[in-house]
Amino acid sequence: MEKQQWAEEAWQRTSSKIKQMSEAIGAGFPHASQNGKYDRTAASAWTSGFWPGLLWLAYREEQDESLRQLAEVCEAAQDEALDEFTKLHHDVGFMWCLSSVASYKITKNEQSKQRALKAASILAGRFNPQGSFIRAWNSYVWRNEEHNEGWAIIDCMMNISLLFWASEETGDARYRHIAMRHADTVLKEFIRADGSVYHIVCFNAETGERESALGGQGYSPDSAWARGVAWAIYGMAICYSYTKEERYLRASQKTAHYFMANLPEDHIPYWDFRLPAYEGAPRDASAAAIAASGMLLLSELLPADQGGMYERCALRLVKAIDRQCACYDSGNEAIVLHATGSFPTGKNIDVPLIYGDYFYAEALTRLLGNSGSRQMFW
């Protein structure tokens, strides 16, 4: 079956499921699905943007006003976190790119633009100029760690897209400078020679010097957490799309090659690429979905003779999700099954996660050719 025909059919299955989900979930903030039902989390949770993002994707394609209305209610509910401020973290990019930036790009809603610019300013305020990194969490977020003011994590490569967007919207180069300085720190301190990445790197918050790395959601400090590699693929491609700096393109390709080279035969990655044993180890379909959408962006940014390999791998990944991990009926509120949140802490293992649903749907719409020359809501 040709790529376009397959993608159209897969999107129809997915969009029908999103409509079904909207009737069950409404305007809440789903995170993980347990026993077929999505739990709900707070507006300040890092995942609060993925459900409105999924609704905006479906609205953009299907023009169903009920989906738009739900997305707008979710976005308004996030004001609680934006106004309260102290519970926010570096994941404001995930939160407001997929709600407010998405809304602004689709509807030109000025209030959405203002929300996203506030969030961008909060993210910029987390930048540590001594170490050229954006601080990840606040002290109460990560295992009650009291001294994580010098911690940065690979996930932030997706969040800094909010800064690039803000720089273009306002004409203020400071947002872009902060994003690029953080990305350059990731190039130097996170991405290894073989294309694998660290999840957490700890810096001295006063001097900016690198002190150590932590395993985080990976198996160990020196392992290769699958979702972390996916964040690097996609985040570096986004950096290149905004800046056209070759170093970011090469980093995206390097991490993509590592991801591709370490996939199992069925193309659904284990939760870490460097486990001491794989038999019975959980998979992470969310990592496959993130990597697929990132590789599709990468393929768009390259000439056809260079980008084709990334598109082909992305197509294999989304087809594997569709064949092995997708639920399109009412048996589960989620779409993508078999994801792993945080294996080391025993949280959300082999369950659906809302960001798996989002990135799978996003990858499908990229395959449909609807993303244009710029990334989706990033």
Instruction: Give 203's strand partners.
Output: 210
155 pLDDT more than 60: yes
184 is catalytic: no
Q: Which residue has the tokens 């000439």?
A: 303
pLDDT of residue 139: 77
For 238, half-sphere exposure in the C-beta direction (CA atoms, 13 angstrom radius) is 31
User: DSSP string spanning 283-351?
Assistant: B-HHHHHHHHHHHHHHHHHS-HHHHHHHHHHHHHHHHHHHHHTB--STT-S-SB--EEEETTTTEEEEE
Q: Which of 199, 219, 298 is nearest to 253 (CA)?
A: 298
Per-residue pLDDT of 317-339, as tens digits, reads: 999 999 999 999 999 999 999 99
Q: pLDDT band for 374, please (50, 70, 90 cuts).
A: very low
Q: Amino acid identity, residue 108?
A: K
Say how many C-beta atoms besides its own lie within 10 A of residue 181's C-beta.
Answer: 17
pLDDT, tens digit, for every residue of 292-322? 999 999 999 999 999 999 999 999 999 999 9
pLDDT digits (tens, 9 = 90+) for 44-88: 999 999 999 999 999 999 999 999 999 999 999 999 999 999 889
pLDDT by residue (tens digit) across 166-213?
999 999 999 999 999 999 999 999 999 999 999 999 999 999 999 999
Pick the closest to residue 317 from 377, 276, 360 (CA basis): 360
Rounded CA-CA distance 5/8 in Å is 5
pLDDT in tens, 79-128: 999 999 988 999 999 999 999 999 999 999 999 999 999 999 999 999 99
CB 40 within 8 A of CB 29: yes
Which pLDDT belongs to residue 3? 86
* Length of the chain counted residue by residue: 378
CA distance 4 to 378: 24
d(CA 8, CA 169): 33
E strand or H helix at 55: helix 50-62
Residue 241: predicted pLDDT: 96
pLDDT in tens, 8-17: 999 999 999 9
DSSP per residue over 169-207, as a string? Answer: HH--HHHHHHHHHHHHHHHHHTB-TTS-B-SEEEE-TTT
Domains of the chain as residue ranges with CATH: 3-367 (1.50.10.10)
Q: What is the pLDDT of residue 370?
A: 56
Whole-number Å distance between alpha carbons of 57 and 350: 25
Confidence of residue 145 (pLDDT cuts 50, 70, 90): low
Whether 357 and 54 have beta carbons less than 8 Å apart is answered as: yes
To the query of whether residue 222 is one of the catalytic residues in this protein, the response is no
141-377-117 Cα angle (round to 5): 65
State phi, psi for 335 to the nearest 5 degrees: -100, -50
Asked whether 185 and 132 are in contact (CB, 8 A), the reply is yes
Q: What are the φ/ψ torsions at residue 342 (nearest 5 degrees)?
A: -140, 95
Question: What is the pLDDT averaged over residues 219-234?
Answer: 98
d(CA 235, CA 304): 21
The pTM for the full model equals 0.97
User: Mind listing the pLDDT tens digit for each residue in 17-31?
Assistant: 999 999 999 999 999
Q: Report CA 119 to chain centroid distance, whole Å.
A: 17
With beta carbons less than 8 A apart as the criterion, state whether 159 and 94 touch.
Answer: yes
- Of the candidates 155, 272, 322, 357, the residue annotated as catalytic is 155
Annotated catalytic residue: which of 79, 91, 272, 322? Answer: 91
Nearest to 351 by CA among 375, 335, 366: 335
Strand 210-214 relative to strand 339-342, pairing? unpaired
Query: Would you give the end-to-end CA distance of the chain in angstroms?
Result: 30
Q: What confidence score (pLDDT) does residue 162 get?
A: 98
What is the gyration radius of the CA atoms in the chain, in angstroms? Answer: 19
Which residue(s) pair with 283 in the sheet?
270
Q: Inform me whether the pLDDT recorded for 214 exceeds 60.
A: yes
> Using one digit for the tens of pLDDT, what is the confidence trace for 132-144?
999 999 875 555 5
Statement: residue 34 has pLDDT above 70 = yes
Q: What pLDDT is attached to residue 143?
A: 53
The dihedral built from the CA positions of residue 106, 40, 23 and 338, taken in this order, carries a sign that is: positive
